[in-house]
Structure 1
Amino acid sequence: MQQKYHKYASLTKIDNQVLQNKTLLFNVEETLLKSFSMFPYFMLVAFEGGGPLRALVLLIVYPFMCILKEEMRLKAMIFICFFGIKKARFTIGRTVLPKFFLENVGDGSLEVVMRFGRKVGVTNLPRIMVEGFLMDYLGIEDIVGREIKVLGGYYTGLLDVGVVNDEQEMIFAHIMSQSQKVGICCINKCFQTPPFTYCKDIYYVSKDDKKRWNNLPRDKYPKTLIFHDGRLAFMPTPGDTLVMFIWLPFGFILSISRVLITILLPYQLSLPILAFIGLRYPTSMPLSLKHIHMQHTTSSINKIPKGMIYVCNHKTVLDSIYISYICRMNCSLLFYGISKLSAFLSPLNTIALTRNREKDAAIMHKVLRQGRNIVMCPEGTTCREPYLLRFSPFFAEISDDIIPVALQLNVSMFYGTTASGMKAFDPFCLMMNPWPSYYVQFLDKLPEACTCGSGGRTKFEVANYVQDVIGKALGYKCTALTRKDKYSILVGNNGLVN
């Protein structure tokens, strides 16, 4: 079939109605991504799916693979990253990779691609790596990619070429039967190879076009990114990955030291030492709240117990510890599902709740009557992105003495939370960051008019009010999503821990 070649920029001049009647075939990596190197995405697969040892092997071998031709280098990385990985447990393409793909999308490409009616993504990567990104976040269901052979439920790391060819023929036979014209976006010479040879018109992207692109802003994502998993908090380019592995031994020692200092030393000693070795915890507290804290201290001295409930958004398992350290007050941590190791190492008094409302309410009333403060995270689970999940209204029934607390966390290397990994390692992974920064903002105590007891508000109104107050303080968007929504997306269960 004779092809006509057009400059990519001319697509913006075509009427939208004409575009909707066309079917677009595009190379995913070379059309959507502003800058593309296969290594970071395979490193994410190796580290998150196979562990640090597999990732180290990939990093060591990669310089030698650069000598190979592109196709051979791709096959070598696929083998190293996928060999021996259980297919049923491979969820990285849906839970980890989409975040890094979205952060690399160019604004000039996606706008044009999304204007077409039917879109077919063609990728050089294994289909399992890109289908979560394309289907869940861009709404592109027709994907032509490589398949990896499976033996006994485990990936062999070898490409199943026959499956790929059969799928290509099936998809494009259907396309050609439905569409008279086919548009395509590509770069370099990929339009000279199947399946792009089926196309009548070719629109290509030049390197100069890509230089003018900016990274797609978060508010322009076709679907909002709220939940994602994985331990790595940075794009693992070869240089950054090398720095990470050099840092790991020091980070491990630093993490253990920080945990031991927190457990063994009193506030007065541990806080300055932790600040000296890299922990940052800037805080702000209104004058009215400082007055309340002084009253609480006086009441404790006079043996007039009156505990308060600190309600905060949930960033990591260490939220309560940070709040307690900054307040320098006796706080209790109430939890449903933290690991036994985290509960054992916690310097706070940890109390396990039962998910029985009457029993849990009795436990909390007892703690408050003893003059101890309670720190609660009504979201029920952590959220890494600037969104607040729905607040459980249980705390509103317990007391009117409620203080909202807004938390922000910045990490540069490792996330201190996980949905599918081992939660016992969460505090250690957080402490392995060179300079983890917790920002704690204490807000004004809840007005009596906005409480259940004195104000006559329903528990749902109070919970929504507190969520809104914290959201405005952080600049976060409030959602109606829950723990069950998060875990159903990332893990496939309801997030309950026995």
Structure 2
Amino acid sequence: MVESHRCTSVASELEGTLLVSGGLFPYFLLVALEAGGPLRAAILLIVYPLVALLGAVFSDDLPLLVMTFVSTCGLGASDVTAVARATLPRFFLADVRGSAFRALARHPGEKYVVTRLPRLMAEPFVKEYLDADVRVVGKELVVVGRRFSGTVASPGVAAGDRSLGALVAFLGRDRIIDVGPGSGSAGDRKPAFLHVCQERRVVSTPEKATTTLLPRSEYPRPLVFHDGRLVCRPDPLACLAIVLWLPLGVLLSVTRLLLGFLPHGAGLLLAAATGFQMRAELGDSTTEAADRRGTLYACNHQTLMDPVILSTVLRRKVTAVTYSLSSFSELIAPISTVRLTRDRGRDRQIMQSAVARGDLVVCPEGTTCREPYLLRFSPLFAEIAGEVTPAAVRAGGAMFQGSTVRGHKWLDSVFFLMNPTPWYEIRLLAPVATCGGASASSRDVANSVQCMIGDELGFECTGLTRRDKYRMIAGHDGVDARSSSSSSS
């Protein structure tokens, strides 16, 4: 809404308005854990109940200041920025209020999102996933050298009125409209910037409409890549549950790893007894391929355990190709692995030799993808054998992610198996004839296999690659400097 005699802007608070929840603790905990490590996260979890109690008595700003200090003090700016870009958006998006987002998106004039979080933590999400033209108003983290001091500086919006002048000066408009829910979204606390709004538009109230989250189909930008170890939103009680689970989780993880070295039938039964759920569907057309030696399997990539689980459900040994698997992961793998070189010619020979000796599993995406999307399938696998059997794979757990980019990758399988009830689903599809070594059609075969797996899982096929994932999350191509930059399989 633009008026001829005066300029109108729209402003919305992030917490409790655009987001259903008004709590800030989960986002500081994620920064502390992913950028600072488990010890920093534990300290934040320990001090939070005390500062929250003191904040309720003395100052609403106290918990915010303490959480900012504990979670960011001494951390490098690049580490916190990486977490803000790669980890926080998934939790923000899962909490976006549909009605508030639509009201903000419809406004044709200047738009602002006001947050009590440090601007650096909220801005990547707002600009990359909501609207690139929205300006974010929040506290600035003080940098000393290349590291954060743990303190904040204006401009920004806190609980008190001291920041109101800074906000008015920042917006510099004659009229400000707030777009938000009627009441009850963030408790009784009202955003400080409402005092400078000349108009407030109510998009929903608890009495008239239930809170509806923004569906994935309406995301302005799809969430394909993200990082971080935690699956659930780390609210204080959820964090306490994870901490209490850790000792048993570690014991279960070690036990499940050891079961992989048992005969397949016994290992499958004992794994199920520990809560590990595995389900396989073998179609009639794939039975012959599953019984024949020297079968080439191509599957989408969920975790490092994809080939291991496939071997288990097939009840036969398979060989998996890898690029940069850690020595620890190779040590605990109950199946054979073959390292590739990123030299296309040499890798073709290595894979052809491996499939001549027995069954071979390849993951043509080249990296894992957590969301319901398939990355581009590199076509080298279509030049290895005359036939390939696609395998559609889904996996998950309630507490921990089984893959990471910026974390310790050698612990990926350990974390996945620490989930209370990790699960895997594998469906073997009808074998596909390949190009038989003719490179002109290998890409068509790869695209066809990608579409088959995508249709079976209900995943969307994309042209994104391993390089795109690492550039988004880690800021580099994800290729070991010692490796060739040749195409990967």
TM beyond 0.5: yes
User: Which string of whole-angstrom CA distances, capped at 9 and with x for unpartnered residues, describes residues 32-82 of structure 1?
Assistant: 011221122222222222222222222222221221232111111111211
Equivalent runs, 1:203-222 vs 2, <5 Å: 203-204=201-202, 208=206, 212-222=210-220
1:128 is aligned to 2:120: yes
Equivalent runs, 1:197-276 vs 2, <5 Å: 197-204=195-202, 208=206, 212-263=210-261, 265-276=262-273
CA distance in 2, matches of 1:163, 1:16: 25
Matched letter for residue 96 of structure 1: T
CA distance in 1, matches of 2:77, 2:207: 38
Q: 1:84 is paired with a residue of what secondary structure?
A: coil
1:350 is aligned to 2:337: yes
CA distance in 2, matches of 1:326, 1:16: 63
Q: 1:325 is paired with a residue of what secondary structure?
A: helix
1:475 corresponds in structure 2 to 458
Task: Decide whether aligned partners of structure 1 residues 78 and 99 sit closer, same or farther in structure 2, where only a CA change above 3 A counts.
Answer: same
2:90 corresponds in structure 1 to 99
CA distance in 2, matches of 1:474, 1:17: 50
Unpaired stretches in structure 1, ≥5 consecutive residues: 1-14, 297-305
1:360 is aligned to 2:351: no
Task: Decide whether aligned partners of structure 1 residues 202 and 274 sit closer, same or farther in structure 2, where only a CA change above 3 A counts.
Answer: same
User: Which string of whole-angstrom CA distances, capped at 9 and with x for unpartnered residues, describes residues 325-356 of structure 1?
Assistant: 11122311111122121122211111111111
Q: 1:125 is paired with a residue of what secondary structure?
A: strand
CA distance in 2, matches of 1:373, 1:37: 51
Aligned to 1:485, which of 443, 456, 468? 468
Aligned to 1:319, which of 283, 303, 306? 306
CA RMSD after TM alignment: 2.6
Equivalent runs, 1:138-217 vs 2, <5 Å: 138-140=130-132, 141-161=134-154, 175-176=171-172, 181-186=175-180, 190=190, 193-194=192-193, 197-204=195-202, 208=206, 212-217=210-215
Moved over 6 A (4+): 15-18, 162-171, 454-457
CA distance in 2, matches of 1:57, 1:470: 44
1:278 is aligned to 2:275: yes
Q: Cα distance, 1:180 vs. partner?
A: 5.5
CA distance in 2, matches of 1:45, 1:52: 11
CA distance in 2, matches of 1:167, 1:72: 15
CA distance in 1, matches of 2:363, 2:404: 17
Q: Cα distance, 1:182 vs. partner?
A: 3.0
Task: Decide whether aligned partners of structure 1 residues 169 and 375 sit closer, same or farther in structure 2, where only a CA change above 3 A counts.
Answer: farther
Matched letter for residue 263 of structure 2: P
Give the count of matched residue pairs: 463
Task: Decide whether aligned partners of structure 1 residues 436 and 315 sit closer, same or farther in structure 2, where only a CA change above 3 A counts.
Answer: same
Equivalent runs, 1:459-470 vs 2, <5 Å: 459-470=442-453
CA distance in 2, matches of 1:413, 1:162: 37
2:286 corresponds in structure 1 to 289
Matched letter for residue 281 of structure 2: S
Q: 2:278 is paired with a residue of what secondary structure?
A: coil
CA distance in 2, matches of 1:485, 1:168: 41
Task: Decide whether aligned partners of structure 1 residues 65 and 209 sit closer, same or farther in structure 2, where only a CA change above 3 A counts.
Answer: farther
Q: Is the 8 A contact 2:103 2:179 kept in 1?
A: no
Task: Decide whether aligned partners of structure 1 residues 172 and 364 sit closer, same or farther in structure 2, where only a CA change above 3 A counts.
Answer: same
Task: Decide whether aligned partners of structure 1 residues 83 and 459 sit closer, same or farther in structure 2, where only a CA change above 3 A counts.
Answer: same
CA distance in 2, matches of 1:262, 1:237: 34
Q: Cα distance, 1:209 vs. partner?
A: 6.5
Q: TM-score, normalised by structure 1?
A: 0.87
Q: Is the 8 A contact 1:396 1:463 kept in 2?
A: yes
2:487 corresponds in structure 1 to none
User: Which string of whole-angstrom CA distances, capped at 9 and with x for unpartnered residues, describes residues 131-175 of structure 1?
Assistant: 111011012441110112222322221222368899997885575
Equivalent runs, 1:405-444 vs 2, <5 Å: 405-444=391-430
Matched letter for residue 286 of structure 1: G
CA distance in 2, matches of 1:272, 1:397: 37
Q: TM-score, normalised by structure 2?
A: 0.88
Which segment drifts farther, 22-31 or 221-230? 22-31
Q: 2:390 is paired with a residue of what secondary structure?
A: strand
Matched letter for residue 74 of structure 2: G
Q: Is the 8 A contact 1:144 1:167 kept in 2?
A: no
CA distance in 2, matches of 1:40, 1:174: 28
Aligned to 1:496, which of 472, 479, 487? 479
1:299 corresponds in structure 2 to none
Task: Decide whether aligned partners of structure 1 residues 209 and 40 sit closer, same or farther in structure 2, where only a CA change above 3 A counts.
Answer: farther
Task: Decide whether aligned partners of structure 1 residues 342 and 133 sit closer, same or farther in structure 2, where only a CA change above 3 A counts.
Answer: same
CA distance in 1, matches of 2:478, 2:374: 17
Q: Cα distance, 1:312 vs. partner?
A: 0.3
Which segment drifts farther, 83-92 or 203-212? 203-212
Q: Cα distance, 1:231 vs. partner?
A: 0.2
Task: Decide whether aligned partners of structure 1 residues 42 and 173 sit closer, same or farther in structure 2, where only a CA change above 3 A counts.
Answer: closer
1:67 corresponds in structure 2 to 53
1:379 is aligned to 2:371: no
Q: Is the 8 A contact 1:310 1:375 kept in 2?
A: yes
CA distance in 1, matches of 2:308, 2:320: 8
Q: 1:496 is paired with a residue of what secondary structure?
A: coil
Matched letter for residue 20 of structure 2: K
Q: 2:136 is paired with a residue of what secondary structure?
A: strand
